[in-house]
Amino acid sequence: MQVVTRFAPSPTGFLHIGGARTALFNWLFARHHGGRFLLRIEDTDRARSTQAAVDAIFDGLKWLGLDGDGEAVFQFARMDRHAEVARQLVAEGKAYYCYCTPEELDAIRAGQKAEGKPTRYPGIWRDRDPSEAPVGVPGVVRLRAPQEGETVIDDLVQGEVKVANAQLDDMVLLRGDGTPTYMLSVVVDDHDMGITHVIRGDDHLTNAFRQYQLYKACGWDAPRFAHIPLIHGPDGAKLSKRHGALGAEAYRDMGFLPEAMRNYLLRLGWGHGDDEIITTEQAVEWFTLDNVGRSPSRFDMTKLTNLNGHYMRNADDARLVELLAPLLAAKLGHAVDADAQARLLAGMGGMKERAKTLVELTDLAAFYARRRPLALDDKAAKVAADAEQMALLSEYAATIEAAEWKKDVLEEAARVFAEGKGQKLGKVAQPLRAALTGSSVSPPIFEVMEVLGRAETLGRIADTTAKGRP
Ligand code: GLU
């Protein structure tokens, strides 16, 4: 049997962190088994579904690298097929028309509530002759659900879960206007798409019982279910926006790498011994549902950030430059030209060690891409306004005009120069940093000089020492 999984988001909002994890688990499970991972957009709630949300979901999945196999299925477009199944069930006596009016149902519910009983449809039309149907009342189609015994699901995460059938009433499959209900659509689609494993949040566990009954009524094999515990906030409460319940694009904008995000999402509810760093290749090799935990996981931004730092340090330099260029262009307000890109590439080794996110890297790297003359921050401006320091910098610059342009050579020259002046190396490094980076923090400054190259270095120094002159 080929494994077929699916991710079936409702496009009423962005791809949030819980959805992204569900997608990842389905994707990994399918890849692990050499199966297929399908996408289905559950857009039957016409009032709340939007194209913007559909786009955000596709974008988020693409960014995370969770590619689906084949075209996505749109649930609303399959409405006729769903309705056809309901009518077939009626023809087979497995479902029936119910003509209760909303007022009647309200009254029944109110009565049940008053008696402290659970509100359930009491099967009024279950055995009534359809010839008794009132004129002008559009009937709904209800499943003739089993009333005795129990429905048992052997959930791959939760274990055996069951419900007494007496607790489930005859659910509506088709509304009075002929539109299918969510429950019907999900079952028909999962069946038609050949889904073998339904992996989703455990907020859908109660739906699974009704869905299971519907599969049986249709004479279909139910898929295996795996209901994963939800993600909570760091304080154990339900995940909220404050905790990080944001869309995938928000994480991209915060500067996280997709591979770090995948690793982090994987660890939210799944484990492989004590391993924290798990590459996607390893995850595909190791992922099974046995290792999905049974208690809710906690979302922890600090962990995600640290994990991202790991992936940043190990990322390919050229790829980081590519990711950085548009961020820098947005920050600086001008394109990052080829010279600047070459500098970023040469300086990446020294920078990626110091940044945990692409946003931090952008801040750190901006000086390599800035155009002359550099704007100086407050601290650097103070240094530049100090005539003595600027004079020292000019003199040092004169000593290296013809030097071999290597960081060790430049540093040694600075050391010798400072000693000659009876000064510490820092006395040269400080104005140098101000002039070359426009700030008081940077990667090691002689490395910066080597990366900037002779012309750019001397040019930036000249700009600043000229500025500093009275
Ligand atoms: N559309 C449902 C949701 O977004 C998922 C349904 C399912 O996975 O069965 O929560």
- Determine whether the shortest distance from the Cβ of 11 to ligand 1 is under 6 A: no
Amino acid at 104: E
Alpha carbon separation from 342 to 117, 322, 347 (Å, rounded): 73, 11, 9
Task: For residue 27, count other CB atoms closer than 10 A to its CB.
Answer: 26
Q: Residues with Cβ < 8 Å from 114, sequence gap 6 or more?
A: none
pLDDT tens, the chain, 470 aa long: 899 999 999 999 999 999 999 999 999 999 999 999 999 999 999 999 999 999 999 999 999 999 999 999 999 999 999 999 999 999 999 999 999 999 999 999 999 999 999 999 999 999 999 899 998 888 999 999 999 999 999 999 999 999 999 999 999 999 999 999 999 999 999 999 999 999 999 999 999 999 999 999 999 999 999 999 999 988 888 887 777 778 999 999 999 999 999 999 999 999 999 999 999 999 999 999 999 999 999 999 999 999 999 999 999 999 999 999 999 999 999 999 999 999 999 999 999 999 999 999 999 999 999 999 999 999 999 999 999 999 999 999 999 999 999 999 999 999 999 999 999 999 999 999 999 999 998 999 999 999 999 999 999 999 999 864 44
Q: 276: CA distance to ligand 1 center in Å? A: 29
- In this prediction, residue 245 carries a pLDDT of 76
Q: Which CATH superfamily is domain 78-228 in?
A: HUPs (3.40.50.620)
CATH of 1-70+229-314, one of 3.40.50.920, 3.20.20.70, 3.30.70.360, 3.40.50.620: 3.40.50.620
For the entire predicted model, the pTM comes to: 0.93
> Among the options 62, 117, 241, 382, which is catalytic?
241
Q: What is the predicted pLDDT for the residue at 316?
A: 98
Q: Is 10 in the pocket of ligand 1 (CB under 6 A)?
A: yes
Number of the ligand 1 atom closest to the C-alpha atom of 19: 4
Q: What is the CATH number of domain 378-465?
A: 1.10.10.350
Contact in structure between 6 and 30 (CB atoms under 8 Å): no
Indicate whether residue 182 lines ligand 1 (CB < 6 A): no
User: How high is the pLDDT of residue 470?
Assistant: 41
The atom of ligand 1 lying closest to the CA of 22 is: 8
Cβ(232) to ligand 1 under 6 A? Answer: no
Do the bridges between strand 140-143 and strand 172-174 make them parallel or antiparallel, or are there none, so unpaired?
Answer: antiparallel
Among protein residues, the one with the nearest Cα to ligand 1's atom 6 is 8
Ligand 1 atom with minimal separation from the 6 CA: 8
Ligand 1 site, residue 204, Cβ cutoff 6 A: yes
Instruction: Please name the helix (run of DSSP H) or strand (run of DSSP E) that holds residue 249, with its range, or none.
Output: helix 248-253
Name the residue at shortest CA distance from atom 3 of ligand 1: 9
Rounded Cα–Cα distance for residues 129 and 5 (Å) = 41
**Which residue's C-alpha comes closest to atom 2 of ligand 1?**
9
Q: Is the CB of 41 under 6 A from ligand 1?
A: no
Atom of ligand 1 nearest to the CA of 203: 10
Cβ neighbours around 425 below 10 Å, total: 16
The one-letter amino acid at 353: E
Ligand 1 pocket check for 186: Cβ under 6 Å: yes
Shortest-distance Cα residue to atom 7 of ligand 1 = 8
| Cα–Cα distance list, 256 to 56, 156, 220, 312, 390 (Å) | 17, 32, 43, 9, 40
Relative to the CA of 211, which ligand 1 atom is closest? 9
pLDDT value at position 467? 66
Nearest to 23 by CA among 338, 268, 193, 220: 268
pLDDT at 381: 96
- 10 Å CB burial of residue 47 (0-12, 13-18, 19+) is exposed
Question: Is 427 one of the annotated binding-site residues?
Answer: no
Cβ–ligand 1 distance for 42 under 6 Å, the answer yes
Catalytic residue list contains 241: yes
Instruction: Determine how many CB atoms are found less than 10 A away from the CB of residue 355.
Output: 21
- Ligand 1 centre and the CA of 120: distance in Å? 24
Ligand 1: residue of 186, 205, 210, 228 to mutate (most ligand atoms within 8 A of CB) is 186
> Which residue among 21, 200, 209 has the greatest number of ligand 1 atoms within 8 angstroms of its CB, and so is best to mutate?
200
CA distances from 98 to 67, 122, 128, 360 (A): 43, 11, 9, 61
Residue nearest to atom 4 of ligand 1 (CA): 9
**What distance in angstroms lies between residue 204's CA and the mean position of ligand 1's atoms?**
7
SS3 141: strand
CA of 209 to the centre of ligand 1 (A): 15
pLDDT of 243 reads 75
Nearest-angstrom CA–CA distance, 25 and 6: 10
Give yes or no for residue 200 CB within 6 A of ligand 1: yes
Task: Kindly give the distance from the C-alpha atom of residue 203 to the centroid of ligand 1, in angstroms, as a whole number.
Answer: 9
Residue 446 Cα, ligand 1 centroid: separation in angstroms? Answer: 55
